Amino acid sequence: MAAQDTEQTRAKVDGVPDGLWVKCTHCSEMLYSRELARDLKVCRRCNFHFELSAQERIQVTVDPGSFQEHDAQMRSANPLGFPDYPEKLTRAQQGAGTADAMIWGECRIGGAACVIGASEGGFMRGSMGSVVGEKTVRAAEFALQRRLPVVMFCCSGGARMQEGIVSLMQMAKTSAAVARLHQAGLPYICVFTNPLTAGVLASFASLGDVLIAEPGALVGFAGPRVIEQNLKIKLPPGTHTSEFQIEHGMVDLVVPRREMLSTLTRVLRWAAAPNSSPAPITPGDQTIAAEL
C-alpha cells in the first residue's frame, strides 16, 4: 500500500533548458524541447507520454487564467517523528517546487466551473500523507458547498510511509469525502496518469464516476516490480497498464493527452448541464414506474 520507489519508471524531463534536445525515455528519439512542449510532452515518434508536473497539468487543462489555487501553503509535519522525514520533505520541496505532492483549486474547463486537483509526481512520488489527504477532502467539501463537479488528475506511488498509520487513514478520509460527493449527486471525474499505484489508486482515484487513463501509464494496486520481487515470479508483459485496466473493465477510457481537454469538456458538459429529464415519479405515477 505504501509508496514504492519507481525511479526507473519515471521519465526525466526536469532541467531541460529551452532550445535543447530531449531524448525520449522510451524510444530514444531526439526531440526538440520546444516542440515537445507544444506536443504536451508526448513523443512524436512513439507516443510516449512524459510525466507532467501538477502545475503543467493544470496549465494544459484549465481555461487560461481561470485557476485559483487553494491551500498552496499547506505543508507536511512529521506526525510520527519518523527519522529522515523532515530532510526528505525539504529536498522534495526544493526539487518539485511545490509544498507537497498535490495542488488543488477552482477553475473553468471548457467554460464549465469546476474544482480541480493534480498530483505532483515529482514530490516523493506523489505519495499521500496528511497534506494530500486533507487537500483532497477540502477539494471535495468545497465542491459540495458550491455544487461543482470535481476533476482529479492522479499519479502516486501510494501512501506516504513516513506518516505510517496516519497516511493509511487518509485512504478512509478521502473515500468518505468522495462518498459525500456521490451522495450529493455531483460529478467526479478521475484521470489516471503515470504512475498510479497502491493507496491513492485504492481510495479516491478509483471512486470516479468516469475513469480516464493516459496511454501507457503504469496503473495497478502493487507495481509489477514489487509483485515480481515479493512473489519471485515473472509477470507477462503489459500488465498494470492503462490498456490492461481498460481490457479488464477497470477504467472507462484511455485518452491520449492531446484529446484529454476535449474529452473532459464533453464529459463535463454532459454531467453538469441542467437536468432535462422528466420530473421525479410521484406516488400517483406508479403505473408508469411499473412499465419502466
Partner 1 sequence: MTPENHSRNHSRWLPFERPLQELEEQIAEIERFTASKGIDKSTEIDSLRQRHQRLSHQIFSHLSPWDQVLLARHPNRPYTLDYLRLVFDDFIELHGDRRFGDDPAVVAGLATLDGRPLAVAGHQKGRDVKERQYRNFGMARPEGYRKALRVMKLAEKLGRPVVTFIDTPAAESRLEAEERGISEAIARNMAEMSLLRVPVVALVIGEGGSGGAIALGVGDRVLMLEHAVYSVIPPEGCAVILDTFGRDPSRADEAAAALRLSAQDMLELGVAEEVLPEPVGGAHRDLAGMSAGIREALVRHLDDLSALPVEELLEARYRKFRRVGVFEEPAAG
Report how far Cα 118 is from the mean position of its chain's Cα atoms.
6
**Binding range to partner 1, per CB under 8 A, among 14-22, 25-33, 231-239, 284-292:** 231-239
Distances (CA, A) of 196 to 3, 105, 154, 214: 10, 21, 7, 11
3-state secondary structure of 31: strand
Pick between residue 133 and residue 149 the one whose CB is nearest to partner 1. Answer: 133
Give min distance, CB of 101 to partner 1, in A: 12
Which residues lie across from 270 on neighbouring strands?
A: none
Beta-bridge mates of residue 119: 102
Nearer to partner 1, 3 or 13 (CB): 3
Q: How far is the CB of 39 from partner 1 (least distance, A)?
A: 30
Q: Output DSSP code: residue 241.
A: B
43 forms part of the interface with partner 1 (CB under 8 A): no
Q: Quick one: angle between helices 130-146 and 164-183, nearest 10? A: 10
Look at the chain and count its residues. 292
β-strands 253-254, 210-213 pairing:
parallel
Site for partner 1 contains 216 (CB under 8 A): no
Residues paired with residue 113 on neighbouring β-strands, in sequence order: 108
As a whole number of angstroms, the distance between CA 231 and CA 42 comes to 34
Contact yes or no for 6/196 (Cβ under 8 A) = no
Among 13, 173, 194, 257, binds partner 1 (CB under 8 A): 173
Task: Please state the closest distance from residue 125 (CB atom) to partner 1, in A.
Answer: 11
Q: Does 210 bind partner 1 (CB under 8 A)?
A: no
- H or E stretch including 229? helix 224-231
Of these, 20, 30, 46, 172, which contacts partner 1 (CB under 8 A)?
A: 172
204 is a site residue for partner 1 (CB under 8 A): yes
Looking at residues 80 to 109 of the shown chain, list those that interact with partner 1 (rule: CB under 8 A). 80, 82-84
Number of residues that bind partner 1 (CB under 8 A): 65
Find how far residue 2's CA is from the centre of its chain: 17
Between 50 and 85, CB nearer to partner 1: 85
Among 168, 213, 255, 267, interactor with partner 1 by CB under 8 A: 168
Q: Is 232 in the site for partner 1 (CB under 8 A)?
A: no
Q: What value does the CA radius of gyration of the chain take, rounded to a whole number of Å?
A: 20
Closest CA to 129 of 170, 78, 172: 170
> Using the rule CB under 8 A, which residue among 75, 91, 146, 266 binds partner 1?
75
Q: Is 240 an interacting residue with respect to partner 1 (CB under 8 A)?
A: yes
Rounded to a whole number of angstroms, the minimum distance from the CB of residue 230 to partner 1 is 8
Residue 147 is a binding residue for partner 1 (CB under 8 A): no
176 is a site residue for partner 1 (CB under 8 A): yes
The position carrying cell 520507489 is 5
Residues that bind partner 1 (CB under 8 A): 1-2, 4-5, 71, 73-80, 82-84, 130-131, 133-134, 137, 159, 161, 163-173, 175-180, 182-183, 198-199, 201-207, 220-222, 226-227, 230-231, 235, 239-240, 244, 248-250
